[in-house]
Amino acid sequence: MPDENQQQPPQPNPERKTLDDRARMTELERLRHSCAHVMATAILRLWPDAQFAYGPPVENGFYYDLECSHRISPDDFEQIEAEMKREIKANNPFERIEVSREEAQRDAKRGRLGGLTERPNNPSKFKLDLLQQIPEGEKISYYKNGDFIDLCAGPHVMRTGNIGAFKLTTVAAAYYKGDEKGPQLQRIYGTAFKNKTQLDEYFKMLEEAKRRDHRKIGAEMGLFAIDPEYVGPGMPLWLPKGTAIVEELEKLAKETEFAAGYVRVRTPHLAKEKMYLTSGHLPYYAESMFPPMTLLEGEDIARRPVLREKFQEDLHSGAVLTPEKIDAFIEKAYHVFKAEGLEGDRYYLKAMNCPHHHRIFAAEPRSYRDLPLRMAEYGCCYRYEQSGELFGLMRVRSLNMNDAHIYCTEDQFASEFRAVNDMYLKYFKIFGLEKYQMRFSTHAKEGLGRKYVNEPELWLKTEDMVRRVLQESGIHYVEVANEAAFYGPKIDVQVWSAIGREFTIATNQVDFAVPARFGLQYKDRDNTMKTPLCIHRAPLGTHERFIGFLIEHYAGNFPLWLAPEQVRVMTIGEDQALLDYAQGIINELRAHQVRAEADFSHNPIKAKVAEAEKARVHTMLAIGPRDREGGNVSVRLHSQGHVGARPKDEVIRGIVEAIRDRRT
């Protein structure tokens, strides 16, 4: 079986689901949740000292985090699966047992939770901690199958025998609660389906996904590189061919947005702490932001040279510079600055563009005549993803976003929101995306004041506005509670690649809170000052994630307009007149901004074609003496083969038109 974890980003540690979230779990999610419990049962039969933490269903299966004296490896999967099959064959019921908090704490201290029996010398330490996350007043429950009892709010299938086909897939390391300072656990992944046919289809899809892996194809095509040693993990370097794709996407976005009445802006890569405190990203978003930098000003500047000389002496004297020595130096520098009483403005790398755009709105007096104001930027942002969650282009720390913010009146909201949705549909058609879904995320009442801004009436009002637009537009959507942005409801756009893999590539959000925090106002018709609504939208998401998706979707075989190398002209022979004719074709193509390259090498044409096919060049033009004499070129398309000889001017015109029209 393929290694599933190599086909998708590592799963982040989940936020605890509310009871409402659990009630909405699908039948497949319940099956997978139950399968995680069966896996835990099997592991305990083999290694009774195992301590279990989380065991949720996830997008493509399930996992369970555990601590165990035995280091589990894929070599152990066969015997774990054998024990799982015994538990499924036993057809034990999943029994829900409600207990008091005191009973749960007592059982956890005895090692009974996440165990087959009481283990007095091995308390259920993770369950004791997880008990603290259950709000006061919420019912506490166990689920029991056979001898296994776990602290769990459910839901599950009726009996272990209801679990269909399953397979353990991989093992990875994971920090407890995602905290790098916490204990490192083993994470065992698996997947489950209703029947073996669905399971086999899933692994067939994974095999194809492995072949289409954007990291593998990206390296083969020379699109991007990640240099963790010098640049840093999660910060892609776009190579020339990858940059060609980036620029084509930017060109598409700019043309589309210009036609839709957007104006373009540019903003810095960092801002003062005050910006993010005002927006509310601090503290709501602090964990996803890089730590602040302190800028010394005034009298403190004069002390910099002395401190710099001292630090350089400490850093470079003596032994070889090691990571441990650098860490010790940073710690010492922190304490020196603190002891010296050095103070200054704190700056953060930009994690999002919206606060900067709010300040642009505030830079000039605004009238109702200025609205809607559609402000667009391909802004570079920086987000601190945990190292274990980084994954090629899909999860990165440096990202370029197809961002825009629309400031509008309440009366304009519906038409503006609908126009954004129409833009999504236009892009889906261009990229040949036939299956998609809008995921409408709303707030949860219990999160007000903590996870969400505490404006209950505005939440209900704006959610109803979004819901009505979706219904009136006839767009297929699903509604999901407790997944909104902290400042308003949002739509995440789910698309499926050519092989049926699901991706979230874009977002469309309503912000009724942050503009008021920044004091954004416009003068209305009645001369009163009002606060605009703000729509955050990013139809093409980020370059990184969207191009990662497109690499898989097309398997690197990009349509002509997106192909890094659109045309390669190859000669058959070395006659100077032939070379001049071929070069003239290249010059004419490049005059039309076509990415055309030459292969005038001494290699035989068969080898040239093989090399171009390997490089996934979209269109190959082979030119021999007869072609030159007749003013023709012989056309070959990648993965399609020889098309035939055509007049040179006709071929060039066809290439230019196909690129202009962005034909797929």
The residue behind tokens 């999002």 is 352
The band of 566, judged by pLDDT with boundaries at 50, 70 and 90, is very high
DSSP helix/strand/coil, 350: coil
CA distance 205 to 191: 13
Q: What is the pTM of this model?
A: 0.80
Residue 331, pLDDT score: 61
Intra-chain end-to-end CA distance of the chain, in Å:
34
Taking alpha carbons only, the member of 479, 477, 488 closest to residue 447 is 488
CA distance 91 to 146: 9
Residue type, 32: R
Answer yes or no: is pLDDT of 9 > 60: no
Longest dimension (CA), the chain: 93
The band of 154, judged by pLDDT with boundaries at 50, 70 and 90, is confident
Taking alpha carbons only, the member of 187, 202, 196 closest to residue 56 is 187
Give the bridge partners for 293, in sequence order: 347
Write down how long the chain is.
Answer: 664
Residue 314, pLDDT score: 59
Residue type, 48: P
CA distance 232 to 337: 26
Residues sharing a CB contact under 8 Å with residue 38, sequence separation 6 or more, in sequence order: 84, 87, 88, 145, 160, 163
Distances (CA, A) of 193 to 31, 44, 166, 199: 8, 23, 6, 6
Residue 137, pLDDT score: 85
* 164-218 confidence digits (pLDDT tens): 999 999 999 999 988 878 899 999 999 999 999 999 999 999 899 899 999 999 9
Average pLDDT over residues 574-589: 96
Average pLDDT over residues 458-479: 90
* 388-433 confidence digits (pLDDT tens): 789 999 999 999 999 999 999 999 999 999 999 999 989 999 999 9
The band of 317, judged by pLDDT with boundaries at 50, 70 and 90, is low
More confident residue, 621 or 306: 621
CA distance 30 to 56: 10
Residue 2, pLDDT score: 32
Residues sharing a CB contact under 8 Å with residue 363, sequence separation 6 or more, in sequence order: none
CA distance 609 to 612: 5
The residue behind tokens 């704006």 is 462
CA distance 145 to 147: 6
User: Over the range 208-226, which residues count as b (16 or more CB within 10 Å of their CB) and which as e?
Assistant: bbeebbbbebbeebebbeb
Average pLDDT over residues 434-452: 88
Burial of 508 (0-12, 13-18, 19+ CB in 10 A): buried
Taking alpha carbons only, the member of 59, 39, 390, 16 closest to residue 177 is 16
Residue 195, pLDDT score: 95
Q: H/E element holding 332?
A: helix 323-340
Average pLDDT over residues 65-72: 96
| Residue ranges of E strands in 74-226 | 95-99, 140-145, 148-151, 165-175, 184-193, 224-226
Answer yes or no: is pLDDT of 284 > 70: yes
All domains of the chain, ordered by start, with CATH?
4-211 (3.30.980.10), 262-269+351-554 (3.30.930.10), 291-345 (no CATH), 567-660 (3.40.50.800)
Pairing of strands 61-67, 57-58: antiparallel
CA distance 593 to 573: 27
Strands of the sheet containing 148-151, edge to edge, are 95-99, 140-145, 148-151
DSSP helix/strand/coil, 348: strand
DSSP helix/strand/coil, 534: strand
Average pLDDT over residues 491-515: 88
Burial of 43 (0-12, 13-18, 19+ CB in 10 A): buried
User: Over the range 357-393, which residues count as b (16 or more CB within 10 Å of their CB) and which as e?
Assistant: bbbbbeeeebeeeebbbbbbbbbbbbbebbebbbbbb
Question: Cβ distance 545 to 495 under 8 Å?
Answer: no
Answer yes or no: is pLDDT of 616 > 80: yes
Name the CA dihedral angle for 198, 201, 207, 212, rounded to a multiple of 10 degrees. Answer: -110
Answer yes or no: is pLDDT of 497 > 80: yes
Residue type, 140: I
Taking alpha carbons only, the member of 467, 412, 464, 461 closest to residue 438 is 467
Answer yes or no: is pLDDT of 6 > 50: no
Answer yes or no: is pLDDT of 474 > 50: yes
Average pLDDT over residues 68-81: 97
Residue 127, both tokens: 């369950």
CA distance 511 to 582: 56
Residue 623, pLDDT score: 96
* 31-53 confidence digits (pLDDT tens): 999 999 999 999 999 999 999 99
The band of 325, judged by pLDDT with boundaries at 50, 70 and 90, is low
* 96-115 confidence digits (pLDDT tens): 999 999 999 999 999 999 99
Q: H/E element holding 625?
A: helix 625-630
Question: Cβ distance 56 to 40 under 8 Å?
Answer: no
Burial of 554 (0-12, 13-18, 19+ CB in 10 A): buried
Distances (CA, A) of 301 to 293, 335, 623: 15, 18, 67
Angle (deg, nearest 10), helices 214-221 and 543-554: 90
Question: Cβ distance 439 to 491 under 8 Å?
Answer: yes
Answer yes or no: is pLDDT of 326 > 60: no
Residues sharing a CB contact under 8 Å with residue 247, sequence separation 6 or more, in sequence order: none
Phi, psi angle pair for 402, to nearest 5°: -80, 75
Question: Cβ distance 186 to 40 under 8 Å?
Answer: no
Residue 528, both tokens: 């009163």
Answer yes or no: is pLDDT of 87 > 60: yes
CA distance 80 to 262: 57
CA distance 122 to 128: 12
More confident residue, 267 or 284: 267
Residue 146, pLDDT score: 96
DSSP helix/strand/coil, 198: helix
Give the count of alpha carbons within 13 A of 312, CB side only: 6
The residue behind tokens 């009163």 is 528
The residue behind tokens 């996934």 is 616
Residue 334, pLDDT score: 53
DSSP helix/strand/coil, 553: helix
The band of 296, judged by pLDDT with boundaries at 50, 70 and 90, is low
Averaged pLDDT of the chain: 89
CA distance 489 to 509: 6
More confident residue, 68 or 331: 68
Taking alpha carbons only, the member of 394, 322, 1 closest to residue 191 is 1
Answer yes or no: is pLDDT of 259 > 90: yes
